Amino acid sequence: MKVKYFAWVRERVGKAEETIEPPSTVRTVEELIAWLSGRSEAYAHAFEKPKVIRAAIDHAHVKSDAAIAGAREIAFFPPMTGG
């Protein structure tokens, strides 16, 4: 699946997007954040406060317990500040 990062999540991870293949034991957004956090210090820094991170699956806002099965694109970003 494709993962996209925005704002300071993107800056901390060090890339805007990538393709990942998490193991099948990673079933929810929350579990994906934990799995990503274990990849490197940069990811751990980006996701150090998981409750602050917002997620979207295929362009729709989701909660942290949302299932990631079948997702084409998952995005992680801070609370929005547009307008």
Partner 1 sequence: MTCPVTIRIQQDDFDIAREIAVLTQGRTDIGAVVSFSGICRGDEDSAKISALTLEHYPGMAEEEIRGHADEAVSRWPLDGVTVIHRVGRFMPGQNIVLVLTASQHRQAAFQAAEFLMDYLKTNAPFWKKEESATGTGWVEAHARDDEAAARWTRS
Residues that bind partner 1 (CB under 8 A): 4, 6-8, 56, 59-61, 75, 77-83
Q: Shortest distance, CB of residue 77 to partner 1, whole angstroms? A: 6
Q: Shortest distance, CB of residue 73 to partner 1, whole angstroms? A: 9
For 3, the token pair is 């993962």
Is the Cβ of residue 4 or residue 27 nearer to partner 1 in the bound state? 4
Is the Cβ of residue 36 or residue 55 nearer to partner 1 in the bound state? 55
Q: How far apart are CA 72 and CA 4, in angstroms?
A: 11
- CA neighbor of 60 nearest in space, from 29, 82, 39, 21: 29
Amino acid letter at 6?
F
